[in-house]
Amino acid sequence: MAPPPTPGERRLLRIRGLTRSFREGTRVHRVLEQAAACIGTGEVVAITGRSGSGKSTLLNLISGIDAPESGSVCIGATEVTALGEPQRTLFRRAHIGFVYQFFNLIPTLDVIENVRLVMELNGARAGEAQERSRAVLAELGLAGRERSAVDQLSGGEQQRVAIARALVHRPALLLADEPTGNLDEATAAEVLPVLLAAARTRGATLLIVTHDAAVAALADRVLELRDGQLHEHARA
């Protein structure tokens, strides 16, 4: 197991020279080219950029789901890009939480089973996993829904379950890929503050991919992905 992120360090995430391309027939499409960024512990950062600019690719590299051709990603004291795949998986499970656009809940598991699964995979005791899952669900306004089937919940409720799942193992880093992209405007306006508040109360770093200017306005920083690189937006 890789060493955990160093607590109390001001910088949580460092990306250097990150390069990733995909082959399309005979052509090579360079999606990220020497992308770089430094993100502090507890920062909420919006990642913007046109469709196809490489936002999801970037998150996959940060979380170690994918590996770059060159460059590095460090999370706390761990260079994720130097780990082999099994170690990256263990590191991801222990230290990263994800929220996806289409929720990605497991339909055969009920609400609390979806939430506690990551803790079980991390080897937590069943009682502790159950207790922590119940507490996070209650915090997100889902007390009493623990045994519901996930497909019986509204979109906003399903996304709150997904947020609970992302938080329950207390990750240092939260990655959200258009978390409100599949919700109507009113529901998005409800769910988004829940995610931001949860990250901020925990001091977790949150990277949130978004097309929504309102989301970007709530972030501490905005990084735009353009021409394979991250560009910092000046804030008013």
Ligand X SMILES: Nc1ncnc2c1ncn2[C@@H]1O[C@H](COP(=O)(O)OP(=O)(O)OP(=O)(O)O)[C@@H](O)[C@H]1O
Residues interacting with ligand X, by CB under 6 A? 22, 29, 31, 49, 51-57
The neighbour count for residue 193, using CB atoms within 10 Å, is: 10
The neighbour count for residue 229, using CB atoms within 10 Å, is: 17
Q: Which of ligand X, Mg ion, none lies near 54, with the C-beta cut-off 5 to 8 A by kind?
A: ligand X
CA distance 13 to 142: 31
User: What is the gyration radius of the CA atoms in the chain, in angstroms?
Assistant: 17
Q: Which residues contact 87 (CB under 8 A, 6 or more apart)?
A: 1, 2
- Six-digit token string for 21: 């391309």
State the nearest-atom distance from the C-beta of 21 to ligand X, in Å. 8
State the nearest-atom distance from the C-beta of 179 to ligand X, in Å. 12
Please, which of residues 169-198 interact with Mg ion by CB under 5 A?
none
State the nearest-atom distance from the C-beta of 80 to ligand X, in Å. 18
State the nearest-atom distance from the C-beta of 226 to ligand X, in Å. 10
**Do 30 and 21 form a contact (C-beta atoms < 8 A)?**
yes
* Closer Cβ to ligand X, 148 or 182, answer by number: 182
Please, which of residues 42-61 interact with Mg ion by CB under 5 A?
55-56
* Closer Cβ to ligand X, 56 or 133, answer by number: 56
- Six-digit token string for 59: 């998150």
* Closer Cβ to ligand X, 53 or 78, answer by number: 53
Catalog residues that contact Mg ion under the rule CB under 5 A: 55-56
